Amino acid sequence: MNTKKSMKMCVVMFCVIVFFPLDSLAVKGDPTRISGWVLTYENDGLGNSVDGDIMLLVKAIREGADVKVMIPRYGNEDMIFNCESTYIVAGNIVACQNTSVISVDGSHGLNFGFQDNAYNWYVMLNTEGKIDMSRWLVGEHTLHPYGHTQSTTGIKWFARVQ
């Protein structure tokens, strides 16, 4: 192959790599290509790794990624919310906090809407599978009858780097 032809081939390959990266070949409808959110880690209710890499989640947070969690089958729905604050503990445990949720009666059908006796729902969870919830009546500094609870659950952790 002559030098001129080799040079043209290199230019073509460069353009293909720069202007048509391999990840653009993703399947249409792939939610990570639509939203930018990527399932980075998943733990079970005992804190065991189910999928992903905890250090990849830690790295994403340290690099400024937004984090969102999903608690599969919370009641009869998947609960998904943004982490307003994230914490990295001992280098390999991630904790998430959200204090923006107001209780709802239901998310669909006849029960759609907020509860008549609505409460603020504060939640903190971590990659050990721990979840801590505190509920306070809206407009009052009074603990809701559901009160303060702790339990364990499986959690899916999503990251999105802007």
pTM, two decimal places: 0.72
Question: 5 lies in a domain?
Answer: no
Scored b (16 or more CB within 10 A) or e, 7-39 reads eeeeeeeeeeeeeeeeeeeeeeeeeeeeeebbb
Residue 56 in domain: yes
List the pLDDT tens digit at each of the 162 positions of the chain.
554 544 444 333 333 333 333 343 333 445 555 678 999 999 999 999 999 999 999 999 999 999 999 998 766 778 899 999 999 999 999 999 999 988 888 777 888 888 888 889 899 999 999 999 999 888 877 888 778 889 999 999 999 977
Range of the domain at 57: 29-160
115 is a domain residue: yes
**Count of structural domains, the chain:** 1
111 in a structural domain: yes
